[in-house]
Amino acid sequence: MRGPSPAGPLMKEHRLIERVVALLQAELAAIDERGSANTTLIATSAEFLHTYADLCHHGKEEDILFRDLHDKPMTSEDADIMRGLTEDHKLSRRLVGTLVDANRRYANGEMAALGEIRSAASKLVELYPRHIATEDKVFFKPAMEYFTEGERAEMLREYADFDQQLIHDVYRTLVDDAEALAEADRSGD
């Protein structure tokens, strides 16, 4: 395989995701020690996992890499691994949603939500290292062999376009939500 690999940027993104997973793991130990959660750290971690890990990272995998692999004559083993990775992405989305909801309720005084925070965070801390290891050490290298050098170069261009569009979408949504909140405040809702 010649030329840059589309696996490279994805693996680089994994290193940043691992740092947040380490923060969550440390927070789990702190929760056990002090009996309470740092809601700011949980909210920041959940936002990162939603926006960066899911929308950005999983988005490139699912919407570009996996999409293009569907058109290739993959081995049944590689296809099974890809299906498993997609299921991991779905599980991550559900767990992050649970974490966000439980953290909100906990921050609003519902102490019972601490158990849900702990459960969702624990499952995420278990999921991501296994998932990342499968992609980095098992899946990406054979997956790249299905593509020509030109296809890999095109995929890298698509990644850049995807990232550029994503940042605009994220902040457009943020402004739309802020405008709706401001309008509700003006209306007295």
Provide the pLDDT for residue 2.
67
| Rounded-to-integer distance, Cα 42 and Cα 167, Å | 22
* Tokens, residue 153: 């170069």
> Domains in the chain, please, with CATH?
7-187 (1.20.120.520)
Place of tokens 């940043």: 16
pTM beyond cutoff 0.85: yes
- Specify whether the CB–CB gap between 163 and 56 falls below 8 A: yes
| Rounded-to-integer distance, Cα 23 and Cα 10, Å | 20
* Tokens, residue 79: 């296809």
To the nearest 10°, the Cα dihedral for 150, 156, 161, 163? 170
* Tokens, residue 172: 């457009």
Phi, psi of 49 (to 5 degrees): -65, -35
Q: How many CA atoms lie within 13 A of 109 on its CB side?
A: 0
Residues of the chain with pLDDT > 90: what percent? 88
Per-residue pLDDT band for 185 (boundaries 50, 70, 90) equals confident
Place of tokens 């030109």: 150
Region 157-182: mean pLDDT is 91
pLDDT digits (tens, 9 = 90+) for 7-57: 999 999 999 999 999 999 999 999 999 999 999 999 999 999 999 999 999
